[in-house]
Structure 1
Amino acid sequence: MKTLLLTGATGFLGGAALEKLLKDNQGVNYLILVRAENVQQGLNRIRANMEKFNINKTTLDKLTPENILLGDLSEPTHFLSDTRINTVTHVVNCAAVASFGNNPLIWKVNVEGTLAFAQRMAQVKGLKRFLHVGTAMSCAPEPGSLVAESAEFEETAEHLVEYTRSKSTIEQLMRQSCPQLPLVIARPSIVVGHTRLGCQPSSSIFWVFSMALMLRKFMCSLQDNIDVIPVDYCADALVMLLNCETLDNDVYHISAGEESSVSFADIDRAIAAALEKPPVGDHYAQVSYEALLQMRRQLKDIFGPCNERLMLKAMRLYGSFAMLNVRFSNEKILKLGMPKPPRFTDYIACCVQSTRGLSIPQQMVVDFK
């Protein structure tokens, strides 16, 4: 039987991965890293997150206090001495500070804590796989490109946010300092929503599209493409990578790829259809950030009560990503037998429905924690 150490299970992607594992009823002995004051509180945090995925009580009851490993990647020494770690056969490391803000914990958790964790797991004799979740954006892609799956990084690459820099750095450090670690890296592209639940588990990033269409202007063109996948597809791919006995590669994109990426015009039409309104279409204008900056006094009229400074920061950051117009090759995961990903527009109506009544400022909190 596998003994799986899962991190990040109180988050969006880690929660979706645990949902997949629990619903598949796989023969797994779980050890779940949770930040909490005591074991019961940790278990309650896991259960609360799983409820966002509509998991029934019977399935949730499979998790008990014995499955909880109390700890925090910002202070890894507190849990790395737990003797249960020596029995672990598989790791799925979803934990990270995924904020696009200037959270001081980004480097401490994503690089320093994760490296200490990887070094400890490299000492576990029975470990068969250490599946680390990175991000496709960690390579700082060239605008307009179809990005290949490669372990190579440009050392001089300029990152738009500290988060992607941290994810690039930790990949390189794990390879350098833990050559014996059975490391496989999964790099999801932009994870938005859930095919059945929409934004119920998390509104992360979906609000950006709604914000741009409410403004009727943004930094990207409607003809630009974006590589978006739902969280449940990403979780399915992670479980496949976890369970494959042998893998030919150690880096896999989990992405929409060239075929399933969508244009912003496609997104405009799909959101409009879900709202039963006409698309923005010809009323949309591609503008510079400076033009958005000049709208500062209008933001509260458009979005309601909001932090204008944070709204403008979000526009600058996400506008810069949107302008990249990149797609990420997904050939390797498809060759393993993973089905083609759904297009964002296939399930966007679920995202619209699940965010009705929520303002843009309310939705964006999760990305600037």
Structure 2
Amino acid sequence: MRLLLTGATGFVGGAVAAALAGRDLLASTVFLVRAATPAEGARRVSANLARFGVETAITPDQVVLGDLTEPQAFAAAPGLDGLTQVIHCAALATFSTNPAIWAHNVDGTLALARAVHARSPGLRRWVQVGTAMCCGPGLPSPVAESWEAGRDEEAHLVPYTRSKIAAELALRELPGFPLVVARPSIVVGHSRLGCAPSPSIFWVLRMAFALERFTCSPAERIDIIPSDWCGEALVSLALAPRLAHDLYHLSAGGRSNRFDEIDVAYAQASGREPVLPRYQQVAVDELRSLVPLFEQRLGRVNRLLILRALTLYGAFAQLNYVFDNQRLLAEGVPPPPPFADYLAACVRSSEHVPMTEQMAADFK
């Protein structure tokens, strides 16, 4: 086995690297890393593994230097020879309108796939990590795994989800390409380490509880999974001898917690009363009315950034989606722990981190 992992310096990719370490497979893994030298790339991967509690040194010869926006940099890299599996986590994962999104997530992904396919004729599986939210609005919940959902470019709420499904559809057109698409739902924290590896998304909940207002109703379910479970599921999909499908949701499904259950768990973890008696559900177009509360409840913040963030995440939350995960469970992957079960770890690991610092992970 020779596996290529991209995005190992990020959140989901770091969780995959940690899962590979837990299976003693790091020595059989090479990493595509954006760095000046292989030694620098190895240090970056090792440092990210440490955030996931894995103390090990990646060696420079395990690093393939490459930037997805500059595909010529890795087109001739010898590290792409002889690969048997690829887990492609690398992406410009942002809800901002970063102009590099398409070049990175679509053009760069396709260039890497073509290079790997040409250089590694024995490639058995390419696991493309997408997002379940690429399905677009207006679907019944639970949302089924489908190649049809999300094709309408105008229906996407942000460029990121549009780019992710565009990459999947383009990869699917490559002749003989062993594609399997994995679409995680909302990845928040780590089931043991909380937000120590990354505070991504958790700040949205902090904000909602501080403001005592958001776009969810108390009875709506929020489909959240921990990064470590997500990493283990991706490795399982990559290594399985056979798979029944080429598209999977990595989601909580029937284990998704209701908003009021999350409220109770958050209150217990933070030593506060639940906000539910005071909570108000608001529509997305009403979020602007909360601006006067921002500094009162959240401290010194960038009002425009907070409003933009709430509007974007509020629109996704308002979809009220749970994602069907029966295909993944049928492959023998155990279900994820409910978010409420590990929320306390997220609170403990992030309560002293400024809100704006947490938000930086999602607004590149």
Range into which the TM-score falls when normalised by the shorter chain: over 0.9
Measured after TM superposition, the shift of residue 298 of structure 1 is: 3.3
> What one-letter code is carried by the residue in structure 1 that aligns with 2:74?
F
Measured after TM superposition, the shift of residue 322 of structure 1 is: 0.7
Measured after TM superposition, the shift of residue 122 of structure 1 is: 2.2
SS at match of 2:2: strand
Contact 1:227–1:327 (CA under 8 A) maintained in structure 2? yes
> What one-letter code is carried by the residue in structure 1 that aligns with 2:220?
D
Taking structure 1 as the reference length, what is the TM-score of the superposition? 0.95
Equivalence map 1:21-36=2 (5 Å): 21-26=20-25, 28-36=27-35
Structure 2: 5+ residue runs without aligned partners?
A: none
Q: Quick one: which of 141, 145, 161 aligns to 1:145?
A: 141
Residue in 2 aligned with 1:267? 262
SS at match of 1:295: helix
Equivalence map 1:221-240=2 (5 Å): 221-240=217-236
- Alignment CA distance shift 1:137-1:290 (3 Å): closer
Measured after TM superposition, the shift of residue 143 of structure 1 is: 5.2
Residue in 1 aligned with 2:199? 203
Measured after TM superposition, the shift of residue 324 of structure 1 is: 0.8
Residue in 1 aligned with 2:54? 55
Measured after TM superposition, the shift of residue 150 of structure 1 is: 1.8
Contact 2:211–2:293 (CA under 8 A) maintained in structure 1? no
> What one-letter code is carried by the residue in structure 2 that aligns with 1:100?
F
1:183 aligns with 2:179: yes
Residue in 2 aligned with 1:220? 216
SS at match of 1:294: helix
Contact 1:131–1:242 (CA under 8 A) maintained in structure 2? yes
Measured after TM superposition, the shift of residue 206 of structure 1 is: 0.7
Q: Superposition RMSD on alpha carbons, in Å?
A: 1.4
Contact 1:144–1:325 (CA under 8 A) maintained in structure 2? no
1:132 aligns with 2:128: yes
Measured after TM superposition, the shift of residue 27 of structure 1 is: 7.3
Residue in 1 aligned with 2:167? 170
* Alignment deviations for residues 153-201 of structure 1 (CA, whole Å, 9 cap, x no partner): 353250111100001111111112x121111111111100100000000
> What one-letter code is carried by the residue in structure 1 that aligns with 2:213?
K
Measured after TM superposition, the shift of residue 339 of structure 1 is: 1.0
Paired residues, what number?
A: 362
> What one-letter code is carried by the residue in structure 2 that aligns with 1:292?
L
Structure 1: 5+ residue runs without aligned partners?
A: none
Contact 2:92–2:101 (CA under 8 A) maintained in structure 1? yes
Contact 1:141–1:147 (CA under 8 A) maintained in structure 2? no
Contact 1:303–1:361 (CA under 8 A) maintained in structure 2? no
Contact 2:150–2:165 (CA under 8 A) maintained in structure 1? no
Contact 2:17–2:26 (CA under 8 A) maintained in structure 1? no
* Alignment deviations for residues 239-277 of structure 1 (CA, whole Å, 9 cap, x no partner): 1111111111111111001x2011111111110010121
Measured after TM superposition, the shift of residue 3 of structure 1 is: 0.9
| Structure 1 range deviating more: 79-88 or 311-320 | 79-88
Q: Distance in 2 between matches of 1:121 and 1:245?
A: 20
Identity across matched positions, percent: 46
Contact 1:144–1:324 (CA under 8 A) maintained in structure 2? no
Taking structure 2 as the reference length, what is the TM-score of the superposition? 0.96
Residue in 1 aligned with 2:102? 107
| Structure 1 range deviating more: 40-49 or 19-28 | 19-28
> What one-letter code is carried by the residue in structure 2 that aligns with 1:263?
R
Q: Distance in 2 between matches of 1:70 and 1:3?
A: 17
1:160 aligns with 2:157: yes
Q: Distance in 2 between matches of 1:79 and 1:29?
A: 19
SS at match of 1:368: coil
* Alignment deviations for residues 14-56 of structure 1 (CA, whole Å, 9 cap, x no partner): 0000011112213752210111111111111111111111212
Contact 1:92–1:132 (CA under 8 A) maintained in structure 2? yes
1:329 aligns with 2:324: yes
Residue in 1 aligned with 2:287? 292
Measured after TM superposition, the shift of residue 144 of structure 1 is: 5.2
Equivalence map 1:52-131=2 (5 Å): 52-56=51-55, 60-61=56-57, 63-123=58-118, 124-131=120-127
Contact 1:303–1:359 (CA under 8 A) maintained in structure 2? no
Residue in 2 aligned with 1:242? 238
Q: Distance in 1 between matches of 2:38 and 2:296?
A: 46
Measured after TM superposition, the shift of residue 13 of structure 1 is: 0.5
Query: Hey, which bits of structure 1, 4+ residues long, moved more than 4 A?
Result: none
Measured after TM superposition, the shift of residue 141 of structure 1 is: 4.2
| Structure 1 range deviating more: 195-204 or 354-363 | 354-363
> What one-letter code is carried by the residue in structure 2 that aligns with 1:310?
L
SS at match of 2:112: helix
SS at match of 1:55: coil
Q: Distance in 1 between matches of 2:33 and 2:79?
A: 15
Contact 2:217–2:281 (CA under 8 A) maintained in structure 1? yes
